[in-house]
Structure 1
């Protein structure tokens, strides 16, 4: 399975070389926003590779959009194709530094030799698809200055006394350049925040975690150090918890607490924590596998640096008009993150029959799911018993489970188990026999 992002003029060439099933196609001379949106869509589907035409958008748009694919869908191979590419091209250098190594330079098929050049370009693209390139192959597109950081300094010539011989001292300085790769939050890490105050980010986080853990997904829940303990009394024998790195006890090796097949990074005290005490992002980048749900709640809007390296965001809100009016500034901040390429899903919590897709579109909640309001008595009873909400699903509204299923799919999590509908009793007519 493969995809194409191309300009209209090169679309036919790209389609002519692949034998696999084409499952994604975006053909246009893209503006910056349109190209980024196309790349975001690529990151939501499963592809073996995507062919990207380097003539279909501006340099800045190409770099920003393709890096979005690299971060959000690292398993998708990206093949870049352009015409008469030059060594040292700024776009190529930026993308090579981001880990994209499959680059094909085609010849512009014009003039009398059009058919011959077209077929030659087909052969080049076919070869690029069949053989994955590595850094050693891509390095040729960097300039010689970038390949080597060697500086040669020639000193002024010295003339030896009583001699006509000129001695030249050549001083060679080899400058070692150490490039530090910035470690961003893992591509499968999702931050969960409230748009309207106390909209239910923590409830959604622990419910989604339990739902996915029951489907045997590797799930980890991280609690913001800036919030009060939220999950402490929902995770069983909490008094046996070890000191948490979130509580500043980081001198000894830290292992997350496991409960109900979920790894928990819990805040276990009410100690006040300042920005200087905890580097929250350093905590998050320790998570290197599985799905990480990070419950930030309302604290993001007080400390926006929390989401500096985030790539994916779940925004929880209640469909209350007055509450939305009060959160206009928060929505503006979320819109800014979206424009920067962050993937955002809105969870409209405590929805009801009067809340529709029209409500979502009118308020700018494009990528959204609905979750119904739950009986407060059920939530209260679970908390009294120190249980997670989904410890039992017998008394949970089926629409809530289906909503979690839909949310998982929007997150591009391969959930194949749909919520089952209740069995319907069949009615049989028994014929009445007359004597």
Structure 2
């Protein structure tokens, strides 16, 4: 299926075909999502003697984590827990009870990456109580909050927290609260037909080895789920902002905020609350990668352009990480998004009187009116502390982003008071309350 132009469709399919052939992938599916809908799908290789389709299942691997995180955030929004709560408040008996829920979500709790069991991805799992009983002092490998350290174990614990709050297992909570409302009925804990078989491809010969698949039990929230390109396209739309009734858009935006940088000074990759983050080609993407024995998958969404991309493959390794960013680049080249049409909006006279030039000390700022009585305050020279503000019932404005996020803007007769910072019409107005009484400008 394709709702993109012929040249874009051909370029997308060629990039997919090159990846499948050069990386020796038994089968490879990819899709593009635009404005909440899958507009292009491509499949290469073979599944049971035929080409894969949007309804062919593959394992999601760690994309499962993002879905579990949504249930945790729903619990937060309901008031059942706080992101600052220590784990021990909700899950007794662990040796890392002082780590917070937010740290588990962002992989900053300092926990070991893997559970103290046999290789969990390739052996049958154990129940949660048994897993918790195996945890000891060595479970913590780093000081809490110090650094990013990916932890599959941490998400097993989050799944158990969900289960205890909902009085059911994590999967039933996820299915009823997230998957079913989003129409993701083909996302399941075990495979259903038609599904791809997971393979390892021999490094030096074009032969395959079938990989194992089982119920990971306590570790399942870290990577159990199977899904289809069609369902994963719906998830890409969700991550991009089409949340339906599942999550408030502000909560999803919070999940997409960087909680930790994953790759140091480069800052091309990071992690939010259950979502991986990537900066590539001038875009800020949110989503997640996934791998389990015999399978790879990745989904990225660009909320700014309401564009998403994904791939699913039945190989243990080999798909290049540039595949999806290349698909995004193809879309940008062949079908760039048009800007929204400018349209005038109503603005009350009292707000129009505030517009124009203001000064923070000697630094000039421009104040503009936004829709719904919002305001923006931006440095004239383009560098500095820019923020948008939304009106409050008490006549003040609340900072929406930037340095002044959450801070209060008050409007007086002759100045603006932004969390004690005074903005005046003239640089260092001597009549302003702070600093007030400054001297004359001189050469």
> Do they fold alike, i.e. is TM over 0.5?
no
Indicate the TM-score class for this superposition, using the shorter chain for normalisation: under 0.3
TM-score by length of 2: 0.25
- Higher RCO (CA 8 Å, separation ≥ 6 residues): 2
Larger Rg: 1
